Amino acid sequence: MVKSQLENRGISDRRVLKAMLEVPRHLFVPASLVGEAYADRPLPIGEEQTISQPYIVALSLEHLDVSPESRVFEVGTGSGYQTALLAYLAKDVYTIERIEGLLELAKGRLHALGIQNVRFCLGDGSKGWEDAAPFDRIVLSACSKEVPKALIGQLAPLGRMVLPLGQGRSQWLTLVTKGATGKVYVKPTVPCVFVPLIADEGDS
């Protein structure tokens, strides 16, 4: 997977490649799909959600440029696969998921792997995690029509955010950066397909 799907397509960040060699993806898919865990595509994880394609996870992490000192906020824990990679790359990880069954499964998998630098929350990540903010890095695994305002507010100066932006089949994996003075830059990178970000009613 790492050589043929990632390195051969231009993923070059050594830390990301190493993390993807270390974290056993087959522990994050349903038992019936273990044989396909390293396939070049997303897979269903129940509740109409998917574990993202390995290449898209690697690309998101490369754009995110996580350092061993980073405090990271992840929206959409899902299977917990990307969470485990972030735990390997960053200092502290805060992850939020709106579907309780998925969150509990992910928690169990990370605990079984002995991962201790992750905090979990059940809820709507489009509002952020105010008590733990600001974050050096923010990554979303679900597609939003616009960059959620609360998340821009919770991104530290010089911070980076990676998210799928758009709707339906018109989605772009997008890099949002914040300058030292707080100015925000938005740069679409590659087309992508993610499940939608579901914000609680009444939110913008």
> With binding defined as CB under 6 A, does residue 186 bind ligand SAH?
no
Instruction: Choose the binding region for ligand SAH from 13-21, 45-53, 64-72, 182-190 (rule: CB under 6 A).
Output: 45-53
In this structure, what are the phi and psi dihedrals at residue 149, rounded to the nearest 5 degrees?
Answer: -60, -40
Is 52 labeled as catalytic in the residue annotation?
A: yes
Closer to ligand SAH by CB, 21 or 158: give it.
21
Q: Is 1 buried (19+), middle (13-18) or exposed (0-12) by CB count in 10 A?
A: middle
Tell me: does residue 51 bind ligand SAH (CB under 6 A): yes
Among 102, 118, 151, 163, binds ligand SAH (CB under 6 A): 102
CA angle 102, 103, 107 (to 5 degrees): 120
Which is it for strands 170-178 and 184-191: parallel, antiparallel or unpaired?
A: antiparallel
* Number of residues that this document lists for the chain: 204
Nearest residue (beta carbon) to ligand SAH: 78
Give the shortest CB-120-to-ligand SAH separation in angstroms: 11
- Residue 122's identity, in one-letter code, is L
Residue ranges that bind ligand SAH, judged by CB under 6 A: 45, 49-52, 75-76, 78-79, 81-82, 96-99, 102, 124-126, 141-142, 195, 197-199
| Positions marked catalytic | 52
